[in-house]
Chains A and B, each alone.
Chain A
Amino acid sequence: MKPQHDTALAAALWAQEDKLKPCVHCGFCLPACPTYTRLGDENDSPRGRLYLMGAVVEGRLSPDSDAFQTHIDRCLGCRACEPVCPSGVEYGVLLEAARESIFRARKTPAMVGMLLAVFSSRRWTSWSMRLARVVRGLGMAGRAARLMPANRFFHPIRFGLAMLDASRERQFPVASPSGFAAPDGSADGSAGDGSSEAGLPDAGSSDDPSSDGAARWREGSRGRVAILRGCVQAGLFARVNDATERVLRANGYEVVEVSGQGCCGALHTHAGDAAEARELARANVQILGSAQVDFIAVNAAGCGAALKEYGHLLEADEEYKQTAADLAASTRDISELLTGDTLQAGDSLRVGAPLPARVTYDAACHLCHAQGLREEPRVLLEAIPELVVLPLQDEEECCGGAGIYGVTHAELGGQIGADKVSAVLATGAEIVATGNPGCMMQIGAGLLLEGSDVIACHPVELLDESYRRAGFYDGP
């Protein structure tokens, strides 16, 4: 049955043939898939995509075919199909293999190729991020995006600018805590000098009611942590990295700086460039693996999921596989690390000052589906006094961000993004918190283009603000 042609192309899929077998074609995954529920074509469903992969393995379909490439490309990689599958089909792993086959079969589209090249090089990443910050700093990106016509031609630039603008630091619309009116009705959301709120009374709701409280959170008492700085995170969301660091210290962790970190390789894996992804992974395993820390803390869900899969990615590499697996085992999402095993605020997570605002939580796919972290980010938010967490309809559905999906699949990505934006707006929240930079930008851009003031941020930024108000960061 196996074909003579395409052998080299299909090799990546063949290697995963055993992982295709458990699919019994029951169809339970269909309603979970954002592309199937919107398009209705079974080729755009998880079962259909697995069937196409199976057909490639059986030699009935070429990885070079338009059908295979279109429908695999159209997959968001959100992995919503995994937790609903009774047979435990590892769709994510299979998708990577399918993408690798495609990567070998065709010339990578110019835009994707350029992006991958940029992220492969630390120097290029740093320069492009610098450029992005300059554009963002001009303060025109958002306005320009809103002025541009929403047609096919302008879409990539328009949406790109909107995403950039959405990464900008904004002030949280926090009402003044009971009885204390802030001068402008909002709180100062900027990091750094927190003196204006430092004197706010803790209203008894922050922690340390008992005398042993402060000691419990003494820096270094809970272990050593290195923060994965990330590319986009370091480039455009340095404030989230800073917040992560402060919050970790305030919770009793010692944070060590590990320089020389590179891209985690998630973008490359998702684009099918497994060879480059492995190269990047090896570099990180070397650098982070020798940092002698207890945990690697990650605040970007996509990167966290990628790090946790390093063991699998480098399983064929005798030299690296053990250290890669060790690194994967010590990787934690920031919400996971902070809430610990108990998932109890006040127990493993320190409670700060009130933050009277309304927030809604969007579950990033790579947190809830890829890492199985559903409760942790919510516990983190609910631990903030007076912060009202409003339920989001279909909170676990992909926002359509999926790397650069919004740019490569303008129409479908736009549709999926628009549904997320409407769901966010329907909650009446002023803030939407989500644990992945791509999702913050995707949802933020959508909101911006809708003319909404709702802010997209990382949950840890809110916790940080609450700590700042509690005076946790004031000098000794």
Chain B
Amino acid sequence: MENILPEPLTKELGDRLRGVVGDSWVIVDADRLLAYESDGLTAYRRTPRAVVLPRTTDEVSRVLSILSQEGVPVVPRGAGTGLSGGALADGDAVVVGTARMTDMLALDPANRLARVQPGMINVDLTKAAEPFGLYYAPDPSSQSACTLGGNIAENSGGPHCLKYGVTSRYVTGLTVVTYDGKIVEMGGFGRESGGYDLLGVFVGSEGCFGIATEIEVRLLPKPEGVRTLLAIFDRLGDAGSAVTEIMAEGLLPAALEIIDGPTIRAVEASVFAAGFPTDAEAALVVEFDGIEAGLEADVERAVARCREAGAREVRTADSEEERLALWQGRKKAFGAMGQIASDLLVQDATVPRSQLTDVLERISEIGVRHDLTIANVFHAGDGNLHPNLLFDRSDPEEVARVERASTEIMAVCVEAGGTITGEHGVGLDKRRYMSLVHGPDELDAMRRIKAVFDPLGRMNPGKVLPDAPDSAGAAT
């Protein structure tokens, strides 16, 4: 886990890169590389060898040609909001960032499609589509900051993906630059071709197959009506049961999110306070959307299930402002925790919904045993848990306890029939857990797929896949 200090680029290589992207967009000064040491997961620090910020597909291609000629590994980076260390580069690798690639390339309301550069912020796409009554459905809680390129790489989800599905369902075309600088087109309007579904393979590849430089996505018409309700519980487990009951009832809410007591208190202390009662142990946000007719009936049934599960209070958001405030509170919850702890380790495991209550109890028990505060905020409808372990990195003993608790939580989730990541990806952080959920043959198949795109293993090395049993360490 040691941070390998970067070996500076040779002047000649730096000059060639500057020749492509311009002087200001090649960062080599060690002091200026510090800011690129971490992404949204600050438990890791890796200083890259350099950062290059191209503007166009062509520039990306030329940059990668140069770097691959020299055998320098490459790590793509979007906004650095990732929570698995995916955008971190060891000292021998160069980060290629998309921060300057933010253009809307084409907006086609008639066909409900948009083609964008990968550095565009998720919410900016929705803003651009809004005048046409359209929106981009996948809404990670980080949507105000994360890039579409990052979303593609992580196959990101969000609260509303319960009903609408995750990123992969919306990507219809990609332009990708591979490590050797080749520009590859996948899918795209009017190019629905036969053959293998390369798009499907690329989405979720965590920057290990190439850099997406143009992204075409499907937009949806805005739903006619929306109803949001908030149920307050005195026990976290009861909120979990309410979720199970609502789904068992055959209802399909657009979103089902749980925020636990410690998280409620952090949110209410922040600028995004949404009026959650601070003495509660869980708040469940349920949202229904679609055509107006029938919405009320769904809401009534959900309210009944919440009350049966023991909700002490159920209320509906009366105005759009109230609804947005609830969502702001939910979506900024992770950030708000910064007020109660200087460091966070967020887990991201998906368990079968029926196991939710049980798993939550066991996580809470792990927290007690290791004397750690664990704050839960999660996509309950998908069974996608986000336990946040709060700590202070300057206390090595506490860091060690966090490591242990984190591994135990992972084991509990896997044992309950779950996975090691719901949406944040494997990256650097969960690589060591891959063999908990995948057998050697599966891992081998993944390695071979990666080799098709990146035979030399220099695209985002050290991520996702554990080292092959026969390799001596460094290879991916």
Contact = CB atoms under 8 A, between A and B. Distances in A.
B332 interface: yes
Contacts of B40: 24-27
A46 to B, nearest CB: 11
Interface string B322-356: 00000000001111111100111000000000000
B39 interface: yes
Most buried by A among B24, B27, B32, B144: B32
Given A26-B145, A27-B80, A86 B336 contact: yes
Given A24-B42, A26-B145, A88-B271, A41 B99 contact: yes
A27 B271 contact: no
B142 interface: yes
Interface in A106-126: none
B338 A87 contact: yes
Contact of A86 (B31, B32, B35, B272): B272
Contacts of A28: 81, 142, 144-145, 332, 335
A85 interface: yes
A25 B39 contact: yes
B38 interface: yes
Contacts, number: 121
Interface in B416-469: none
Interface string B14-55: 000000000011010101101111111010000000010100
B121 interface: yes
Interface string A82-102: 011111110000000000000
Contacts of A423: none
B335 A87 contact: yes
Contacts of A52: 31, 34-35
Contact of A42 (B29, B35, B146, B337): B35
Given A40-B25, A66-B31, A86 B99 contact: no
Interface string A55-89: 10000110001111001000000000001111111
B181 interface: no
Contact of A83 (B142, B271, B336): B271
Nearest to B30: A67
A84 B35 contact: no
A65 B33 CA distance: 13
A43 B35 contact: yes
B169 interface: no
B467 to A, nearest CB: 28
B100 interface: yes
Contacts of A27: 39-40, 79-81, 142, 145-146
Given A39-B24, A86-B332, A88-B270, A30 B35 contact: no
A86 B25 CA distance: 30
Contacts of B344: 24
Contacts of B383: none
A61 B31 contact: yes
A31 interface: yes
Nearest to B121: A31
Interface residues of A, number: 38
Interface residues of B, number: 45
B18 to A, nearest CB: 14
A76 to B, nearest CB: 18
B270 to A, nearest CB: 5
A84 B40 CA distance: 16
A23 interface: yes
A26 B334 contact: yes
A376 B102 CA distance: 34
Nearest to A31: B121
A269 B428 CA distance: 42
B97 interface: yes
Nearest to B392: A21
A41 B339 CA distance: 27
Contact of B270 (A43, A45, A66, A87): A87
A29 B81 CA distance: 11
A86 B338 contact: yes
Contacts of A67: 29, 31-32, 34
B271 A26 contact: no
B338 A24 contact: yes
Given A42-B36, A43-B32, A88 B339 contact: yes
A447 B94 CA distance: 42
Contact of A25 (B42, B272, B332): B42
A245 to B, nearest CB: 35
A51 B209 CA distance: 30
Contacts of B99: 36, 40-42
A2 B313 CA distance: 51
A22 interface: yes
B169 to A, nearest CB: 25
Most buried by B among A27, A31, A37: A27
Contact of A22 (B31, B146, B333, B339): B339
Contacts of A23: 338
A66 B27 CA distance: 13
A220 interface: no
Nearest to B38: A25
Nearest to A22: B338
Contacts of B335: 24, 26, 28, 85-87
A27 B271 CA distance: 16
Contact of A85 (B121, B271, B334, B342): B271
A42 B37 CA distance: 11
A194 interface: no
A87 B80 contact: no
A48 interface: yes
Given A41-B24, A67-B29, A60 B34 contact: yes
The 7 closest A-B pairs by CB, nearest first: A86-B335, A87-B338, A40-B99, A67-B31, A86-B332, A48-B35, A24-B338
Interface of A: 21-31, 36-37, 39-43, 45, 47-48, 51-52, 55, 60-61, 65-68, 71, 83-89
25 contacts: A24-B42, A24-B344, A25-B40, A27-B39, A27-B40, A40-B97, A40-B119, A41-B24, A41-B25, A42-B99, A43-B27, A43-B35, A51-B35, A52-B34, A61-B31, A66-B29, A66-B31, A67-B29, A83-B271, A86-B272, A86-B333, A87-B336, A87-B339, A88-B271, A89-B338
